[in-house]
Amino acid sequence: MTIDTLKYSCQMALPGFSEETQQLLQQARVLIVGAGGLGCPAAQYLTSSGIGTLGIADYDTVSISNLHRQILYSPGDIGKSKVTVACERLQQQNPDVKIVAHSEKITSDNVLGIIEHYDIVLDGTDNFDTRYLLNDACVMTGKPLVYGAIYQFEGQIAVWNIVYDENSRSPNYRDLFPKVDATQIPNCTEGGVIPTLAGIIGSMQANEVIKYITKTGELLVGKVLIFDAQNMQSRIIKIGNTSKTPVRGLSATVNIPLISVAELKERMDDNSVELVDVRTEQEREAFDFGGIHIPLDEVEGYLAYFTDPNPKVLYCATGKRSAEAVKLILKKIPDANVFSLDGGLRAFIGER
């Protein structure tokens, strides 16, 4: 396997970073799940560094609200598959890297089959279901997982699940957060995020991947780095050297019933659905789209309403909170006739 020494000369000039080290990168197989704010910069730097095989997994399309932080995309890409556009751009960036597209949604049915082909996984997701699923799958298969998260001005990064021996390994995500109530935590779309933070944390994630592959530096193992973009300060929280939270299986992925904008408009014309707004009071006051108002954190107190057989469409700004609400309802009332508006109000008013 030959190495273009001129292309990688600057990194090969690093102390302790030789042609043999570069060859480790060239032989490595890295999977990035989520081609969004974190996945875009991470993928660009891993591609430029000469990773041998880079897998990109994402089933979403590009929307206008993505562009300020998802730097692989441009206005002409709106509506296109993220993974398709990302892979095309990355292949142009470095033709020597094998780029593999995974356009399907990561679920409990396919996650093990996908990650088995890779040496390390980078988590660029923006929802807790997939985050826990990736964590548990990596624990079960012995794969390290590079975690990153951003919200408003703060980012987090850690490296989970480094295998020490047959009986011990470093902490995983469940050691830090055994279980999180995702309904209480807004995502970037609703809460906002400064775009540069995505670049900073995504680049840090790529840095941890490179360190792991090349066996250089000290990994963020057993600790979490927290970065504040407002004051440019960071701190490290230590959570222990070994995992105390066993993972014995994968939770089945819950399929959220979705309704498209086109179908909703048809059913609104004949008044065959009831609308439920799960946004906050402030969002409701700023723009009242109609229907009854049950904020996401109050849905559980209104379960009796959802036992009625009439179809109900829950909506929020982007469809993520409404999906969480539908999931919560279906756990309590499995036969509830509820749907989440795919893409939320932004899709309804044509911002996708």
Active-site positions read 188, 316
**Structural tokens at position 21:** 């080290």
d(CA 89, CA 310): 46
Question: Residue 209, exposed/middle/buried by CB under 10 A (0-12, 13-18, 19+)?
Answer: buried
Bridge-based pairing of strands 312-315 and 274-277 is parallel
d(CA 32, CA 39): 6
d(CA 55, CA 68): 24
Candidates 35, 51, 57; CA nearest to 3 is 51
Candidates 31, 120, 130; CA nearest to 83 is 31
Rg, Å, the chain Cα set: 21
- In three state form, how does the secondary structure of 260-327 look? CHHHHHHHHHCCCCEEEECCCHHHHHHCCCCCEECCHHHHHHHHHHHHCCCCEEEECCCCHHHHHHHH
DSSP letters of 61-74?
B--GGGTTT-TT--
DSSP letters of 136-148?
HHHHHHT--EEEE
Candidates 284, 286, 352; CA nearest to 316 is 284
